[in-house]
């Protein structure tokens, strides 16, 4: 149990376009979801925390107007990168917690975004 | 903010041997959790082992064990009988009552056949 999926697994887009990444908890209700960004050979950097039905809480330095996060249901959170630029190219990972196992985060497989 | 320090960017181990990864953390909390995650080339984060701070006994999961020294704020991971499949990046992580995880910089483990 405790499976988290992400879609798409990789995406290539043109500069200036917007890209939406979905994060789903498949077998539990995710009361809280997290979005991370990871550059090659580096650690995970937390971008924001979202609770179902509430506005996301963004980490310092993360542009909330650029990285729109929606957590509309207990199984789905989305990250939209608006007006993407090449510097937004990165690996984005979501994680989720809930379902009576709030002490552990379950990670999605990640989404590789390349902006041309 | 809590900080997690992994001082070894890379470690190499011979297959079937043992390797120990170090991790230290800084916190003023008394109740917290510590984790080791493995990130193989697929980049899927995999939980290796977890330790609750209130537990004195060191956690063990098959070939993986930790040495938790609360007073020293140290949380090292020992991988015994290393296998080729253990090659990955390993992250130490801290979590207090606030559910956000703080990650260390990571240690890349290479296993030599």
Distance set, CA B19 to CA A85, B45, B71 (Å):
41, 20, 23
Which helix (H) or strand (E) element contains residue B52?
strand B46-52
Question: Which residue numbers in chain A have pLDDT < 50?
Answer: none
Contacts of B71 (CB under 8 A, 6+ apart): none
Q: Is residue B98 over pLDDT 80?
A: no
B25 and A CB contact within 8 Å: no
B96 and A CB contact within 8 Å: no
Minimum CA–CA partner of B90 in chain A: A43
Q: Is residue B85 over pLDDT 70?
A: yes
B1 and A CB contact within 8 Å: no
- Which ranges constitute the DSSP H helices of B1-113? none
- Kindly report, residue by residue over A92-112, the tens digit of the pLDDT: 999 999 877 667 899 999 999
CB-based burial label for B97 (10 Å; 0-12, 13-18, 19+): exposed
């Amino acid at each position: 149990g405790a499976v988290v999926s992400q879609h798409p697994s990789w995406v290539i887009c043109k500069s200036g376009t917007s890209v939406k990444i979905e994060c789903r908890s498949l077998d539990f209700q995710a009361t809280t979801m997290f979005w991370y960004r990871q550059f090659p050979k580096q650690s995970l950097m937390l971008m924001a925390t979202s609770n179902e039905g509430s506005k996301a809480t963004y980490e310092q330095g993360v542009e909330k107007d650029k990285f729109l996060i929606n957590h509309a249901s207990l199984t789905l959170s989305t990250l939209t990168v608006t007006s993407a630029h090449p510097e937004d190219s990165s690996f984005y990972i979501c994680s989720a917690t809930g379902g009576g196992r709030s002490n552990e985060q379950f990670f999605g497989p990640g989404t590789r975004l390349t902006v041309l | 903010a809590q900080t997690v320090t992994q001082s070894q960017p890379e470690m190499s181990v011979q297959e079937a041997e043992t390797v120990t990864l170090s991790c230290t953390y800084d916190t003023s909390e008394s109740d917290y959790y510590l984790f080791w995650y493995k990130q193989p080339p697929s980049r899927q984060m995999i939980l290796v082992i977890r330790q609750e701070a209130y537990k004195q006994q060191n956690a063990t999961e098959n070939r993986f064990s930790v040495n938790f020294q609360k007073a020293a704020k140290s949380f090292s991971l020992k991988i015994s009988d290393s296998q080729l499949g253990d090659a990955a990046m390993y992250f130490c992580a801290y979590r207090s009552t606030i559910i956000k995880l703080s990650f260390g910089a990571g240690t890349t483990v290479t296993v030599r056949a």
